[in-house]
Amino acid sequence: MKKTRVRFAPSPTGPLHMGGVRTALYNYLYAKQHDGDFILRIEDTDSHRTVPGAEKYIIESLRWCGIIPDEGADINGHIVEEKSESHPYAPYRQSQRKPIYKAYAEQLVKKGLAYYAFDTPEELNEKRAEAEAEKKTFIYNHENRGRLRNSISLPEAETQKLLKETGHWTIRFKITPGRDIDMDDIIRGHIVINSSTLDDKVLWKASDGLPTYHLANIVDDHLMQITEVIRGEEWLPSLPLHYLLYEAFGWERPRFAHLPLLLKPTGQGKLSKRDGDKLGFPVFPLQWTSPEGEITKGYREEGYYPQAFINMLALLGWNPGTDQEIFTMDELIKSFSLERVTKSGARFNPEKAKWFNQQYLRMRSDHDLAREFANEIDKKFHNREISVSTNDMSFAYLASLCGLIKERAHFVSDFWEISHYFFEAPVEFDEKDVKKFWNPGTAEKMEEASEVINVIEFKDIKALISENLNKEDMEKERRENINKIETKLTDFINEKGYKMGEIMNTLRLIFAGQAKGLGIAEIIFFIGKTNAITRIKDAIRYLDR
């Protein structure tokens, strides 16, 4: 049994988008499930389209997602250029494999399966334009090649002369017409195509001495002993060509699987790189800065966890056949199968993506969340005093707070919005809520509430933290103290015959600036007695004018 070897072979023409990440992911899952290798190969045979930084971006994106190539890139995230035991097929960048390809193309010419063509791009464009004017399509194929300038139509001497004198000739694959090509796709099953519909594709071009995608792809997949080619559906039309190429070389071909496309959330067409900013969700895993300096945000910068991002992508076009939706990478490796990949294109749903992140946020420990939240705060207020990350005392406070608010957020970046009033008194009060809850007599009730709070004997969060309790005791104490505050407050409200909603919401308005948020007892427990009373006094002064 041959060792499973699959590859992800992106072209560094720009940032990798999420469709590309999914293709890489499926390759990776398949490889790991079969105890095989996942190879990264850079297909940069079009030097004009190569974008500086794109290659690095692709590798970093895959690393962020936890998709680490076994071959192709080293542990530092650089494409491997020198052969070694762990990288026997180096270099893994096609531009650096340049010397390899010409001989293979020539080999096909010798076999009579390919030929030299001398038509210039301008000549061909002209032909295409002419055909289009007649509402036809110009195809470089068996019908036309006899009328074009190539080694089939031209005398041998002329061919030799042109090969020597011109620098822009190409080698084209000679398609024999009238053959039904039987193909198998792991996802789509049996497909038949007649070779007459194919054109004589360029395999190699003298202008830059480089192969085209098709040749480079087949040669490298063969040389690198690839066993399964898992790629996007846009390659399905090239499958017959690739079958014929393997046949022409006399090589055993890999098995093929063509993945469904990722479609735009709204409107028509496949998800494209431009959709991101337009529709308000990222299309890229990481932030991308174009060579022109234009910045596009990625999932990482939007606050997504890579695990959530990967999980979401895995389920876009594949399902396990069960109701399970949350998967770790290891679980994905165990459950994945190409047979259960969907055939039809999948429309990407940004709402579901957020939901996935919410699920992962909740699974996170308070400690981890606190660290992430501290970073957020530092980023937000690097010039202000609210810096909690460096202070152990505050960090414990943060962790405890995170445990309380994580149910209410999709992202850590939501945390500040939800909990800012734990760090500083509200700077303004919601007008509607003031109108609703601040009536004649409210000030007096708040005075009373403030007195009640003043006499409650409780330890606030800071006091508990300073006691260095263990986890269980801490949790127990926390609950007991919050309960105590709550009981005293409700007793007061009931004894006075006040309305629960009225008093509680007014207090919330005072503490949080609006009539929504966490439990009053929890807020008091966190901001502490002194702080709570000060806020009430200040609010009365401010609102009771």
| Vertex 247: Cα angle to 47 and 22 (nearest 5) | 50
**Is residue 487 close enough to count as binding RNA by CB under 7 A?**
no
Residue 135 interacting with RNA (CB under 7 A): yes
- 420 binding RNA? (CB under 7 A): no
Q: How far is CA 453 from CA 38, 209, 528, 532, in A?
A: 63, 82, 10, 8
Site size toward RNA, by CB under 7 A: 82
- Cβ proximity to RNA: between 316 and 540 the closer is 316
Number of H helices, E strands in the chain: 21, 14
Binding string, 389-418, against RNA, x = CB under 7 A?
Answer: ------------------xx----------
Among 102, 127, 270, 273, the one annotated catalytic: 273
Alpha helices (H) in 187-268, listed in sequence order: 213-223, 239-249
**Structure token pair of residue 129:** 């334009």
Residue 520 as a binder of RNA (CB under 7 A): the answer is yes
User: Is 477 in contact with 464 (CB distance < 8 Å)?
Assistant: yes
From candidates 88, 112, 209, 237, binder to RNA by CB under 7 A: 237
Of residues 88 and 269, the one with the C-beta less far from RNA:
269
Q: Which lies closer to RNA via its Cβ, residue 279 or residue 469? A: 279
Q: Give yes or no for residue 139 binding RNA (CB under 7 A).
A: yes
One of 82, 134, 294, 351 touching RNA (CB under 7 A): 351
* Shortest distance (Å) from residue 253 CB to RNA: 18
The two three-digit tokens of residue 45, written as one number: 């045979």
- Using rule CB under 7 A, residue 168 touches RNA: yes
Question: At its nearest, how many Å lie between RNA and the CB of residue 476?
Answer: 19
Q: Contact at 8 Å (CB) between 482 and 535?
A: no
Give the C-alpha distances (Å, rounded to integers) separating 223 from 173, 179, 376, 397.
20, 28, 48, 58
**Is residue 148 a contact point for RNA (CB under 7 A)?**
no
Taking CB under 7 A as the criterion, which residues in 88-117 touch RNA? none
Query: φ and ψ at 381, to 5 degrees?
Result: -125, 45
Binding mask of the shown chain, residues 325 to 344, with x at each position contacting RNA by CB under 7 A = x--------------x-xxx
Contacts of 268 (CB under 8 A, 6+ apart): none
Q: Any contact of residue 273 with RNA (CB under 7 A)?
A: no
Residue 191 engages RNA in binding (rule: CB under 7 A): yes
319 touches RNA (CB under 7 A): yes
The reply to whether 144 sits near RNA by the rule CB under 7 A is no
CB of 466 to RNA, least distance (A): 25
Nearest to RNA of 132, 473 (CB atom) = 132
Decide if 273 is catalytic: yes
For residue 119, state whether it binds RNA (rule: CB under 7 A).
yes
Choose the binding region for RNA from 79-87, 186-194, 277-285, 385-393 (rule: CB under 7 A). Answer: 186-194
> DSSP states of 379-401 as a string?
HHTTTSS---TT-HHHHHHHHHH
Whose Cβ is closer to RNA: residue 292's or residue 351's?
A: 351
Looking at the Cβ atoms of 189 and 293, the one nearer to RNA is: 189
Pick from 518, 527, 532, 540: which binds RNA (CB under 7 A)? Answer: 518
Q: Is 263 in the site for RNA (CB under 7 A)?
A: yes
User: In angstroms, rounded to a whole number, what is the distance separating the alpha carbons of residues 355 and 320?
Assistant: 19
Of 119 and 376, which CB lies nearer to RNA in the complex structure?
119
Instruction: Pick between residue 372 and residue 486 the one whose CB is nearest to RNA.
Output: 486
* Angstrom distance (rounded) from CA 503 to CA 444: 11
The number of beta carbons lying within 10 Å of the beta carbon of residue 102 is 17
Which structure tokens are listed for 501? Answer: 């909603």
For residues 30 and 230, the answer to whether their CB atoms sit within 8 Å is yes
* Single residue of 235, 251, 381, 411 touching RNA by CB under 7 A: 235
- Is residue 268 part of the contact set for RNA (CB under 7 A)? yes
Min dist. Cβ of residue 126 to RNA (A): 12
Nearest partner of 412 among 367, 358, 349, 353, judged by Cα = 358
Of residues 214-233, which lie at the interface with RNA (CB under 7 A)? 214, 233
Contact 477, 409 (CB under 8 A): no
User: What are the C-alpha distances in Å from 169 to residues 121, 160, 163, 432, 519?
Assistant: 10, 11, 7, 76, 77
First to last CA, the chain: 85
DSSP-derived pairing of the beta strands 37-40 and 5-8: parallel
What's the token pair of residue 156? Answer: 């041998």
| Residue 124 found at the interface with RNA (CB under 7 A) | yes
> Shortest gap between Cβ of 235 and RNA (angstroms)?
7
Kindly state whether residue 360 participates in binding RNA, applying the rule CB under 7 A. no
202 binds RNA (CB under 7 A): yes
Which position among 519, 528, 537, 543 is part of the footprint of RNA (CB under 7 A)? 519
Interface region with RNA, contact rule CB under 7 A, candidates 201-209, 243-251, 295-303, 423-431: 201-209
Among 37, 221, 372, 486, binds RNA (CB under 7 A): 486
Shortest distance in whole angstroms from residue 447 CB to RNA: 19
Question: In 3D, which of 502, 518, 505, 522 has the Cα closest to residue 458?
Answer: 522
Question: How big, in percent rounded to 5, are the helix, strand and coil portions of the chain?
Answer: 50, 10, 40
Assess 378 for contact with RNA (CB under 7 A). no
- Residue 532 within binding range of RNA, rule CB under 7 A: no
Among 5, 7, 8, 11, the residue binding RNA under the rule CB under 7 A is 11
The least CB distance from residue 234 to RNA, in Å, is 4
Contacts of 114 (CB under 8 A, 6+ apart): 105, 108, 171, 172, 173, 174, 203, 248
**3-class secondary structure, 60:** helix
Residues serving a catalytic function are: 273
